[in-house]
Chains A and B, each alone.
Chain A
Amino acid sequence: MPLLEISKVTHRFEGLCAVSDFNLVLKPHELIGIIGPNGAGKTTVFNLITGVYRATEGSIKLQGKDLVGMTPYQITRLGIARTFQNIRLFKELSVLDNVRIAHYGQIAYSPAEALLHIGRFRSEEKRITNQALDLLAIFKLDESANEKAKNLPYGLQRRLEIARALATEPTLLLLDEPAAGMNPNEIMQLMDFIRWIRKTFSVTIILIEHQMRLVMGICERLVVLDFGATIAQGLPAVIQENPKVMEAYLGQEVAS
C-alpha cells in the first residue's frame, strides 16, 4: 500500500488556481523533492497535505485514510510533520519546551491531573522530558536546552525545527527549503544529515528546495511545479534534461 496518495488535488484562492490537478503516490521510505520557480505552489502543496488549507477538490490519503477536512493537529497525530520555509519556532520559549510541545499528543494525563499536579502527571512529565532531552542530544542541541529558541544561531534553529518535527513521531516528514541560506559546504553536510534522518527515524521525506545540487544529490524522484501545474515528474537525471522544466526555470529563449 502506498504511504501517501494524493489524487487530483486542486486549490483555489479567490479564483486564482494555486495548485491544480496535483497527483502524487509515495511509497514508504522514499525521499522525493518538489521543485519549481518561486510562486509555483510548492508550499501550498505542503499546506494542503498538513491541513492548513483545505483542498478545493481531490483527495489526500495517508495509509488509506482521507485527510481532507481534518484539522492540522489531527493530521500531525496521524504521522505527518513539517518544517517551515521561514523558521517558525516558538521563539520566546526554551529549546526544550519547543520539543516538549511537539510531544503534546503523546501525553496521557488529563487536564484535571495537570491542574492539581497529581496522578499520572509526574511520571508522564518525566517520560516526555527525558524523551525530549534524548532527541535534543541526538541533534547535539542538548547543551542549549534551556536557551530561548530565538537566541540560537540560524543553523541550529533550522536543526531544532527538524528535531521538533520529529518529536511528533511522524512517518512522513515534509521539509520546506531546508537548505535556505546555506553555503555549498553546509549543503553537503545537510545532504548527509537528511539521509541519516531518513535511516535513523525511518521516515519518508518530501522536500521543497531551490538548491539543485541538494535536490539532484539525494532525491530519488522529483516533481516539478510551475504556476500550480505539475509539468514533470520522474528521476532527477531525466528531469534535468526535460525541455519543459528548463523553460520554466530559464525562460523560453534559453530553452529553445
Chain B
Amino acid sequence: MAYIFQQALNALQLGSIYALIALGYTMVYGILTMINFAHGDLFMVGAFFCFLIAVYLKLSFVPTLLLSMLGVACLGVVIERFAYKPLRNAPRVSAIITALGVGLFLENFTLALSPYPKHIPPLLGNITWTIGSLSVSSLQIIVIVLSLCLMLILDFIVQHTKAGMAMRAISWDKTIVPLMGVSVNRIISLTFAIGTGLGGAAGVMYGLAYPVIDPYMGIMVGWKAFICAVVGGIGNVRGAMIGGFILGAVEIMVAAFFPSTYRDFVAFTLLLILLIVRPYGILGKPQPQKV
C-alpha cells in the first residue's frame, strides 16, 4: 500500500513537470496553430538560468524561481518576435522548421558556452519524513504543490480574465478578433510569455529534483511533453495537464514493474494505442469535416 502511495507521489512529481511544459506547447498551439518545438529547449534554458542565479547571485529559492521564469519568458517573447512573427502568414510547416532551428540553436549555443554538465546547488533544505515504509521529501511536496498552484493560476487567467478571453477568442477565430479591438500581437506575446515562463518554472523544478543539468536535457523531456499535449488534445489547456499526469504515471508504473530500459518503449506504445483509439486526444474534439 505504502509502495503504491510512494509511486503515486513520484508520478505526481514527474507528471506535474511534464504538465507544466505541455502547457506551453498547448497554449502556443491554441493561439497560432503552430508547434513550438523550441519549447523543450526553453525548459532547459530555465534550468540553466536557475543554475546561474543560484551560483553567481546566490539568491534563495523564490527569487531564483521568479527570475528564471522572467528570463525564460523574455527569451520566449524575443524568439516569437524575431523568428516566428515574420512567418505568421507563411506555410505552417516553415514555422515548425524555424522552431526546430531555434531549438537546435539554443541547445548548441548553451553547449558551446558550457560544454560540461552543471550541478545545481540545493536551494531548499530537503527534509524527508518517514511514515511507516513511506518516505516523503519536502522537495517532492514543493514541486507538486507549486506546479498545481501555477496551473490553477493559469486556468484562472485563461478562463476568467479579459486577456484569457482574448486568447480563447483568437484560438477560435483569428480574423475576427482584431475587429473587436483586441491587439493580436500583444495577446500572442502574452501567450508566449506565460507559456515559456511556465516552461522555465518547470526547468527550475526539474533542476531541483534531478540536479545534474546539460544542454540536451530539453530534447527528450520536450518531445515527451509535446506528446502529453497531444494526448490531452492539443490546444486544450486542461487536456495538457491531464496528459502530463498520465505520462508521468505511465512512466513511473512501467519503471516500477519492468526493467527501467523498457520505460520509453511501453510509454510510447501506450500513447500510440491511445492515439489510435482517440485520434484527437482525450479532451480534443474532432474537427467536423467541412465540405
A and B touch in the complex (CB under 8 A): yes
Query: Is B1's beta carbon under 8 Å from chain A?
Result: no
Q: Which of A13, A43, A46, A84 contacts B288 (CB 8 A)?
A: A13
Q: From residue A74, how far is it (CB to closest CB) to chain B in Å?
A: 17
Query: Which chain A residues lie closer than 8 Å to B288 at the CB level?
Result: 13
What residue in chain A is nearest B288 (Cβ atoms)?
A13
Give the docked Cα–Cα distance between A84 and B291 (Å). Answer: 7
Query: Which chain B residues lie closer than 8 Å to A43 at the CB level?
Result: 291
Query: Which chain A residues lie closer than 8 Å to B291 at the CB level?
Result: 43, 46-47, 52, 84-85, 88
What residue in chain A is nearest B290 (Cβ atoms)?
A86
* CB within 8 Å of A: which B272-291 residues: 288-289, 291
How many chain B residues touch the partner (CB < 8 A)? Answer: 3
Query: Which chain A residues lie closer than 8 Å to B289 at the CB level?
Result: 52
Query: Which chain B residues lie closer than 8 Å to A13 at the CB level?
Result: 288
What residue in chain A is nearest B285 (Cβ atoms)?
A14
What residue in chain B is nearest A44 (Cβ atoms)?
B291
| Interface 1/0 per residue, B247-291 and A, CB below 8 Å | 000000000000000000000000000000000000000001101
* CB within 8 Å of B: which A182-201 residues: none
Give the docked Cα–Cα distance between A85 and B290 (Å). Answer: 10
Query: Which chain B residues lie closer than 8 Å to A47 at the CB level?
Result: 291
Give the docked Cα–Cα distance between A80 and B288 (Å). Answer: 23
Give the docked Cα–Cα distance between A43 and B288 (Å). Answer: 14
| Interface 1/0 per residue, A208-219 and B, CB below 8 Å | 000000000000
Query: Which chain B residues lie closer than 8 Å to A85 at the CB level?
Result: 291
| Interface 1/0 per residue, B190-223 and A, CB below 8 Å | 0000000000000000000000000000000000
Give the docked Cα–Cα distance between A137 and B288 (Å). Answer: 37
What residue in chain B is nearest A46 (Cβ atoms)?
B291
* CB within 8 Å of B: which A43-80 residues: 43, 46-47, 52
Query: Which chain B residues lie closer than 8 Å to A46 at the CB level?
Result: 291
Would you mind naming 9 contact pairs between A and B with Cβ atoms under 8 Å apart? A13-B288, A43-B291, A46-B291, A47-B291, A52-B289, A52-B291, A84-B291, A85-B291, A88-B291
A residues neighboring B (CB under 8 Å): 13, 43, 46-47, 52, 84-85, 88
Per CB-CB distance, the 8 closest pairs between chain A and chain B, nearest first, are A52-B291, A47-B291, A52-B289, A84-B291, A43-B291, A13-B288, A46-B291, A85-B291
Given contacts A43-B291, A52-B289, A85-B291, 5 further A-B contacts (CB under 8 A): A13-B288, A47-B291, A52-B291, A84-B291, A88-B291
